[in-house]
Amino acid sequence: MSPKDLLERDAKLLWHPYTQHKAAQTPLAIASAKGASLFDENGQQYLDMISSWWVNLHGHGRKELSEAIAAQADRLDHVHFAGVTHQPAVDLSEQLLELAGFVDKGRVFYSDNGSTAVEVALKICSQFWSNIGETRDSLLALRHGYHGDTVGAMSVGGTSGFFKSFEPWMLKVEYVAAPNCWWNSSTEEEEALSLQHLDNLIKNRATDFCGFIVEPLIQGAAGMRFHRPAFLKAVCEMARAAGIPVIFDEVMTGFYRTGSPFAFMQCDFIPDLLCLSKGITGGILPLGATIASPKLFDAFMGDSFSLALAHGHSFTGNPISCAAALASIHLLKTTDAQNLVSQISDSLTKKMTALVHSSSKIEKPRVLGGIAAFEIKSSNPDYASAAGKPLAIFAQKHGVILRPLGNVVYLMPPYCTTDSELALAFDVIHSYLETLE
């Protein structure tokens, strides 16, 4: 089929995510992918500098993953997970708990994606309190967090700016400000105000809150907003001291994206619930996992089914997804992902420094692990801001996929990305910025 036919059929048949179809560019018809590159129907190459929506870890087309998937599909493709178990799910739970350092200290609940991993965590928090005889009908969250598109996840991400139309459906949530931190910025004063606000909320209403959710170190969808680990530790410790379970949504930050296996490891704080997805399978099959502390799990034990967690999905614990995740964790170890991300981080830092010196049009540079971001100066710096869009179009024409969040431009490359591929991406950004000077 010709690329033209494909696009015509797409235009008639498809409703794409996060897309205003009236104004949207014609979608890019991708035919194949290898390493850090995507290839369109005409064979044109594009560097995937957003890891295909933050999921891809090792690069595209890794044989180690596709072979594990094929072998598992031959052995056991799918089976329901209530009253049944299988080795890939048990092995994966062991591996996840080991990577998180939670051996013997956690229970893994599988779901399908990042939103459901968060939804499960929120439901565990709510039911934990009702199971021990308390009603707690509100949640605490950091302002600007994004946690997914199901109703609970939207509620705790209510300040992300995406969900105005759904306000009547939202759960009760109180937000605590989380100042954005970039090179040379000083956020201590704002952080102190935030801590004061949380302290007041807890003093007056601690028994309203069933849980506190954070996107640790980097709030992705809100525009790659970075936080200081010391601030995160302080807010989380305050919630914990009041007995409020703390959820770390590591759907984006997990699996070395911020430099360590998980972001919580840089905050010197162990969460009560850890939400994982995206990179869990190396970014090639859907899977969500929510890891809960033994204290939370134990509150669901009892003689009545009403104490059990009434949550599950048709594909909970899908063996093929679990096999992909096991192969991905093996690859993280054998390729020394920590070192790969550290090299990418050094390269991003050098190139970002040069970029900042070469253009007066950008500000607020920041790099952590394999994620770099800066902002195009704009009088309207919100998500709907047009500032980043022309860059995305320019970059695509020059063989680089970027997807700025409003005026925030970021790079989140797969871990196989070479220094010369990063150099190409920065050259294209530099050329675009020159057109603004």
Ligand X SMILES: Cc1ncc(COP(=O)(O)O)c(C=O)c1O
Given the rule CB under 6 A, which residues bind ligand X?
A: 113-115, 118, 146-148, 215, 220-221, 249, 251-252, 277
Instruction: Give me the sign of the Cα torsion angle 382, 386, 392, 398.
Output: negative
Buried b (16+ CB within 10 A) or exposed e, 375-392: bbebeebebebebbbebb
Buried b (16+ CB within 10 A) or exposed e, 110-122: bbbbbbbbbbbbb
326 vs 412 by CB, closer to ligand X: 412
Please, which residues have CB within 8 angstroms of residue 363's CB and are 6 or more apart in sequence? 182, 374, 375, 377
**Least distance in angstroms from the C-beta of 222 to ligand X:** 10
144 vs 351 by CB, closer to ligand X: 144
Active site residues: 18, 146, 249, 278
Contact 81, 110 (CB under 8 A): yes
118 vs 142 by CB, closer to ligand X: 118
**Least distance in angstroms from the C-beta of 250 to ligand X:** 7
**Least distance in angstroms from the C-beta of 65 to ligand X:** 18
215 vs 375 by CB, closer to ligand X: 215
229 vs 399 by CB, closer to ligand X: 229
The two structure tokens encoding residue 24: 């949207």
**Of 392, 407, 408, which Cα lies nearest the Cα of 25?**
392
HSE-up (13 A, CA, CB side) for residue 112: 8
221 vs 392 by CB, closer to ligand X: 221
Distance of CA 136 to the CA centre of its chain: 27
Contact 118, 249 (CB under 8 A): yes
Please, which residues have CB within 8 angstroms of residue 338's CB and are 6 or more apart in sequence? 256, 259, 260, 261
Q: Find the helix packing angle between 337-358 and 319-334, rounded to 10°.
A: 70
Instruction: Give me the sign of the Cα torsion angle 416, 418, 421, 422.
Output: positive
Give phi and psi for 272, each to the nearest 5.
-80, -25
The two structure tokens encoding residue 40: 């369109």
In the bound state, the residue with its beta carbon closest to ligand X is: 114
218 vs 433 by CB, closer to ligand X: 218
Contact 179, 197 (CB under 8 A): no
